[in-house]
Structure 1
């Protein structure tokens, strides 16, 4: 059984290993396989995100994290920085459960939207988020903050033609 709960400081040490495991899925996509060996978010950064109060973990029956969603409040939006589930636990609804919890908490906080940047065509990226009600932002629909994030990603080697910004407007959100 999986429990979705707010992340605790002591969870931070486990999160880089979960990110590393989740990243192995990119090995199935030759042009993105390099991501499987990329840098992970440090435990220190995870502790800072957890302190911000917008991070959740999916914990197993022994309360060990098997997935997480790290986010931050950026203006009137909850911005998802990372959503990862251990490779051996993917495809079982854990990612969706984490996302639904983050959306519900963002609504409770009175935020207007949930945003993120991701790959357009990777099945567990933009297509997954679209099924959850997110829309891809194009052109003038991408605000300054998201434009800056996409630019930063490009400077770190992300292929700009494959990346996109997405938004879920919470007044219309339905995650069923």
Structure 2
């Protein structure tokens, strides 16, 4: 199956909530996180606004239908990856890696210094995946105010703080 990575168009927003919902099914495999599979995802208007304001990439099938996406935001000299979601039938095919490569190329082109993100520590498709892509897990003293705030906001949302971490890929 041919998959192309490209910048998202506003019309792609119609597909992104379903991709996010499908991708979240993976959390059912973890009893403490299973509730995330039923959590509310961003709606189409939110995705449209995000596409208009921030860098968003989609992976599309041969018929130009999105099957995965990555949304990010430039913060100071870093590109923060807020989310990568890959629809279930397309997981395990390297699409997440290709989306990260697109974000990395964008960040390099913008002369940014790093990619950052927050993720779960031990889930195979989270911290271990990002480590294989060159990200380094940051210790508390390395976080800085922005990433501290990201992790604090996630804890307020209900994500178990002890299982979360922030990571950085220096460019």
TM-score by length of 1: 0.94
Query: Could you tell me which residue of structure 2 aligns to residue 173 of structure 1?
Result: none
Q: Which residue of 1 is the match for residue 3 of structure 2? A: 2
Matched, 1:125 2:121: no
Pairwise CA distance, 1:53: 4.2
Q: Is the 8 Å Cα contact of residues 116 and 167 (structure 1) preserved in structure 2?
A: yes
1:18-45 CA-to-partner distances (Å, cap 9, x unmatched) read 0000000111111111110011122222
Map 1:22-171 to 2 at 5 A. 22-170=23-171
| Offset, 1:52 | 2.4
Structure 2 segments unaligned to the other structure (5+ residues)? none
Report the counterpart of residue 13 of structure 2 in structure 1: 12
SS at match of 2:134: coil
Alignment deviations for residues 54-99 of structure 1 (CA, whole Å, 9 cap, x no partner):
1000000000000000001111111111100001110011111111
RMSD: 0.8
1:117 is paired with a residue of what secondary structure? strand
TM-score under structure 2 normalisation? 0.97
Query: Conserved in 1, the CA contact under 8 Å of 2:54 and 2:71?
Result: no
Note the residue ranges of structure 1 that are not aligned, 5 or more in a row.
171-176
